Amino acid sequence: MVFLDGVYKVKSNREAGYGRYDISLTAIDTRFPSIIIEIKQTDEINKLKESAKEALMQIKQKSYFQEFVNAETEILLIGLAFFGKTVEVEEEILSPLL
Protein backbone atom coordinates (compact mmCIF):
# COMPACT_ATOMS: atom_id res chain seq x y z
CA MET A 1 0.00 0.00 0.00
CA VAL A 2 3.03 2.21 0.29
CA PHE A 3 3.00 2.58 -3.50
CA LEU A 4 -0.52 4.01 -3.41
CA ASP A 5 0.71 7.24 -1.82
CA GLY A 6 -0.32 10.15 -4.02
CA VAL A 7 -3.27 8.19 -5.44
CA TYR A 8 -4.94 7.26 -2.14
CA LYS A 9 -4.93 8.42 1.48
CA VAL A 10 -4.42 5.19 3.41
CA LYS A 11 -5.88 4.77 6.91
CA SER A 12 -6.27 1.74 9.14
CA ASN A 13 -8.34 0.75 12.14
CA ARG A 14 -10.28 4.01 12.31
CA GLU A 15 -13.76 4.57 13.66
CA ALA A 16 -16.43 4.85 10.99
CA GLY A 17 -20.16 4.25 11.05
CA TYR A 18 -20.81 1.86 13.96
CA GLY A 19 -17.37 0.33 14.41
CA ARG A 20 -13.79 0.23 13.13
CA TYR A 21 -12.78 -0.83 9.62
CA ASP A 22 -9.48 -2.55 8.91
CA ILE A 23 -8.28 -0.46 5.94
CA SER A 24 -9.61 2.62 4.16
CA LEU A 25 -8.24 3.97 0.89
CA THR A 26 -9.60 7.44 0.08
CA ALA A 27 -9.20 8.27 -3.60
CA ILE A 28 -7.42 11.57 -4.22
CA ASP A 29 -8.42 11.49 -7.90
CA THR A 30 -12.16 10.95 -8.51
CA ARG A 31 -11.38 8.67 -11.47
CA PHE A 32 -10.52 5.98 -8.91
CA PRO A 33 -12.89 4.38 -6.38
CA SER A 34 -12.49 4.87 -2.65
CA ILE A 35 -12.04 1.51 -0.93
CA ILE A 36 -12.99 -0.04 2.41
CA ILE A 37 -11.39 -3.39 3.30
CA GLU A 38 -12.41 -5.71 6.13
CA ILE A 39 -10.16 -8.73 6.78
CA LYS A 40 -11.07 -12.00 8.50
CA GLN A 41 -8.89 -14.98 9.41
CA THR A 42 -10.41 -18.45 9.50
CA ASP A 43 -9.10 -21.65 11.01
CA GLU A 44 -10.72 -23.86 8.36
CA ILE A 45 -10.07 -23.60 4.63
CA ASN A 46 -13.65 -24.62 3.81
CA LYS A 47 -14.92 -21.50 5.64
CA LEU A 48 -13.03 -19.02 3.45
CA LYS A 49 -15.94 -17.99 1.21
CA GLU A 50 -18.31 -17.70 4.18
CA SER A 51 -15.78 -15.57 6.10
CA ALA A 52 -15.21 -13.26 3.13
CA LYS A 53 -18.99 -12.77 2.82
CA GLU A 54 -19.19 -12.05 6.56
CA ALA A 55 -16.47 -9.40 6.20
CA LEU A 56 -18.35 -7.73 3.33
CA MET A 57 -21.60 -7.87 5.30
CA GLN A 58 -19.88 -6.30 8.32
CA ILE A 59 -18.81 -3.32 6.20
CA LYS A 60 -22.41 -2.78 5.10
CA GLN A 61 -24.08 -3.48 8.46
CA LYS A 62 -21.73 -1.20 10.37
CA SER A 63 -21.79 1.51 7.65
CA TYR A 64 -17.99 1.80 7.46
CA PHE A 65 -18.41 3.57 4.10
CA GLN A 66 -20.21 6.62 5.59
CA GLU A 67 -17.17 8.90 5.24
CA PHE A 68 -17.39 8.44 1.46
CA VAL A 69 -21.13 8.90 1.00
CA ASN A 70 -20.89 12.46 -0.31
CA ALA A 71 -17.74 11.85 -2.33
CA GLU A 72 -17.75 11.92 -6.11
CA THR A 73 -16.13 8.50 -6.40
CA GLU A 74 -17.49 5.00 -6.45
CA ILE A 75 -16.97 3.07 -3.22
CA LEU A 76 -15.46 -0.39 -3.48
CA LEU A 77 -16.26 -2.62 -0.50
CA ILE A 78 -13.91 -5.58 -0.08
CA GLY A 79 -14.37 -8.48 2.31
CA LEU A 80 -11.19 -10.53 2.48
CA ALA A 81 -10.69 -13.83 4.32
CA PHE A 82 -7.54 -15.90 4.60
CA PHE A 83 -6.41 -19.29 5.82
CA GLY A 84 -2.64 -19.49 5.78
CA LYS A 85 -1.66 -18.32 2.28
CA THR A 86 -5.06 -19.04 0.75
CA VAL A 87 -7.32 -16.01 0.24
CA GLU A 88 -10.97 -15.47 -0.72
CA VAL A 89 -12.36 -12.06 -1.72
CA GLU A 90 -15.93 -10.76 -1.94
CA GLU A 91 -16.57 -7.28 -3.31
CA GLU A 92 -19.35 -4.84 -4.05
CA ILE A 93 -19.34 -1.42 -5.69
CA LEU A 94 -21.52 1.42 -4.43
CA SER A 95 -22.19 4.26 -6.86
CA PRO A 96 -21.52 7.80 -5.68
CA LEU A 97 -24.51 9.46 -4.08
CA LEU A 98 -24.51 12.81 -5.83
CA-nearest of 19, 12, 30 to 71 is 30
Identity (one letter) of the amino acid at 60? Answer: K
Q: What are φ and ψ of residue 54, in 5° steps?
A: -65, -40
Q: Is the Cα torsion angle 58, 98, 12, 91 positive or negative in sign?
A: positive
Residue 8 has what pLDDT? 92
**Beta bridge partners of residue 88, listed in sequence order:** 81
pLDDT at 60 over 90: yes
Region 16-30 average pLDDT: 91
What is the model's pLDDT at position 72? 80
DSSP 72: S
